[in-house]
Amino acid sequence: MTIEYEILGEPGRDNALLVTIDSGQSQHRLLFDCGEGCLSRVPVSQVQAVEAVFFSHFHIDHVAGFDTFLRMNWARPDTPVRVFGPPGAIKIVHHRLRGYTWNLVAGVPGQWIVTEVGAGRLRSSRFLTAEAFEVEHPFQESAAPGAVVYRGGCFVVRAHTLDHGTPCLAYTVREADRQNVDADALGALGLPPGPWLKAVKDEGVAADKSLGIAGKDYLVGDLRSRLLISSPGDSIAYVTDFFLATEIEAAQLVGFLSGCQTLVCENNYRDADADLARKNYHMTSSDVARLAARVGPERLVLFHVSDRYDVQAWREQLAEVRQRFDRAVFPQAWGIE
Ligand SMILES: [Zn+2]
Ligand SMILES: [Zn+2]
């Protein structure tokens, strides 16, 4: 299993994040925000394979590319298109779906499930292509234990609400823990390695199933507890458009991001523009660096930089962050170091 990611869009323009989780058997594609032009270089087949779009909030620089996504997915067969966002998401996405003339759609497949995330609860509505997206079908309302908003087979997505003058969602994607065979324990048991190890690692195999190995019978559950050691899978966080006004808010976000390997974080303002940053509910370079230093990811990827600066200023901005957190980079494709 691996998580790969790509920051979409240019520096100083709208950005988004495309995450691909490869389970070994299948690939899952998740899109975080959808600014203008962000999908222009993503192959159509990949856009059509995005199983869920996670909006942080609905400021236009995070949504202006949504029509491109809609155009490639309005009649998706088989699997529904999932969309997540803060409170208000259902109404806003409904408006966007209804913003076109949809005649001749009778019998056309396509189902969109939009979920609002707020106050530890999820509220979902469904819209059908064959109905020209006209009717909102309230679909589900539930708690979100552990802040989990979406589960794929081998990963979970969690959301945490931040303050951007409007609720703004930070997200994490975490793979399930990896189960590896402890070679020393295997040796101590005196069992020969073989295809039976696959059954021990496969969570789909019941713990009370019996396996015949080297002429003796063993319970899968027993073998699991004696042989398997677990380690965390890959993880990535997407955090944008926010301001931490209090230590309580900062500590809650640090807790939410804890253990994430890759932290993708906005850096809209340099330290010299701290007043503007505060007024517009954004972080400065030093704010972002201090946050990263507390979370301790393997890498901090800075994005959503402002077009009020030029390339030289972006370089200085990166240096500002690195003074406090040296594992900071811009997306490789930007070529700014
Ligand atoms: Zn915003
Ligand atoms: Zn923004």
Tell me the residues surrounding ligand 2 (ion) with CB < 5 Å: 61, 241
pLDDT digits (tens, 9 = 90+) for 311-331: 999 999 999 999 999 999 999
Query: What does the pLDDT average to over 142-146?
Result: 93
- Print the SS3 string covering 71-124: HHHCCCCCCCEEEEECCCHHHHHHHHHCCCCCCCCCCCCCEEEEEEEECCEEEE
**What is the rounded average pLDDT of the residues 20-36?**
94
Task: Give DSSP secondary structure letters for 268-310.
Answer: -B-GGGHHHHHHTT--BHHHHHHHHHHH--SEEEEE---TTS-
Q: What count of residues does the chain have?
A: 337
User: What's the average model confidence in pLDDT over 281-292?
Assistant: 97
Proximal ligand: closest to the CA of 168 = 1
Catalytic residue among 61, 67, 163, 271: 61
Q: Model confidence over 170-221: pLDDT tens digits? A: 999 999 888 889 989 998 988 888 889 988 988 788 999 999 998 899 999 9
- Mean predicted confidence (pLDDT) in 235-258: 98
Residues 6+ apart with CB under 8 A from 245: 163
Ion ligand 1 — residues with CB < 5 Å: 59, 241
**pLDDT the model gives residue 106:** 96
Nearest listed ligand to the Cα of residue 15 = 2
The model's confidence at residue 110, banded by pLDDT at 50, 70 and 90, is very high
Residue 232 CA to ligand 1 centre (angstroms): 32
104 pLDDT higher than 80? yes
Q: Could you read off the pLDDT of 112-122 as tens digits, one per residue?
A: 999 999 988 99
Q: Stretch 122-146: mean pLDDT, rounded?
A: 96
- Residue 234 pLDDT greater than 90, yes or no: yes
Q: Is 310 part of the annotated catalytic residue set? A: no
pLDDT for position 157: 98
